[in-house]
Chains A and B, each alone.
Chain A
Amino acid sequence: AQSVTQLGSHVSVSEGALVLLRCNYSSSVPPYLFWYVQYPNQGLQLLLKYTSAATLVKGINGFEAEFKKSETSFHLTKPSAHMSDAAEYFCAVSSNSGGSNYKLTFGKGTLLTVNP
């Protein structure tokens, strides 16, 4: 079964500092990986996704992630944190649930706080 593990349930950075949110995956087949963001009391919004086209994926709001097969990782980064980046971030893998049906299996989430 495919799964993702997010290291660190809470990451705190200063405004302007580098953001690094870690995600490792477990998959017996080439994975499709996603990062979603959830702002307080809102739904989930796609930041970016890896679909095997390029290992470095650029997303919205200045975020990017690099797929590293050798490390089974898909870490999310942003060079300079902004106060508005404070949110819960979820890594997810698309896994087959039978036939040609797919579901998202999420990590436990990482809460990012940005200090002024």
Chain B
Amino acid sequence: DTAVSQTPKYLVTQMGNDKSIKCEQNLGHDTMYWYKQDSKKFLKIMFSYNNKELIINETVPNRFSPKSPDKAHLNLHINSLELGDSAVYFCASSQEGGLARETQYFGPGTRLLVL
């Protein structure tokens, strides 16, 4: 059973389109995250939710809107896609989110290519 899953795995779309990426975790964790990995493999956190509440919101354009319908799901909606949004987006989860020593468990990633 996949602990953290993401759909779709690949996403190719045109500039200006709106797209969503879905993430689900079956670990019973309270906290979920979205990270962006750019073409140089640099990983940066975008958002974090704890029990459906947004707790981390890094300097991300407001075209990106996360939504957490329940604590097992965290979706990422992107409006008006731009070329610079092309990246790999990783979802992750951790048990509580309030402990510095917690391990984060990552999904397989969604590879987004904007043409």
Contact = CB atoms under 8 A, between A and B. Distances in A.
B63 interface: no
A32 B45 contact: no
Contacts of A45: 106
Given A44-B90, A106-B44, A96 B107 contact: no
Interface stretch (A15-23, A65-73, A97-105): A97-105
A95 B56 CA distance: 12
Interface stretch (B12-20, B35-43, B64-72, B76-84): B35-43
Interface in B70-113: 90, 92, 97-109
Interface residues of A, number: 30
A86 to B, nearest CB: 15
The secondary-structure label for the interface of chain A is: strand
A46 interface: yes
Nearest to A2: B100
B90 A43 contact: yes
Nearest to A93: B100
Given A42-B108, A43-B90, A101 B50 contact: yes
30 contacts: A32-B100, A36-B106, A38-B41, A42-B109, A43-B106, A43-B108, A44-B90, A45-B106, A46-B103, A46-B104, A49-B103, A51-B101, A88-B41, A96-B100, A97-B48, A97-B56, A99-B55, A101-B48, A101-B50, A102-B98, A102-B100, A102-B102, A103-B56, A103-B58, A104-B43, A104-B104, A106-B44, A108-B42, A109-B41, A109-B43
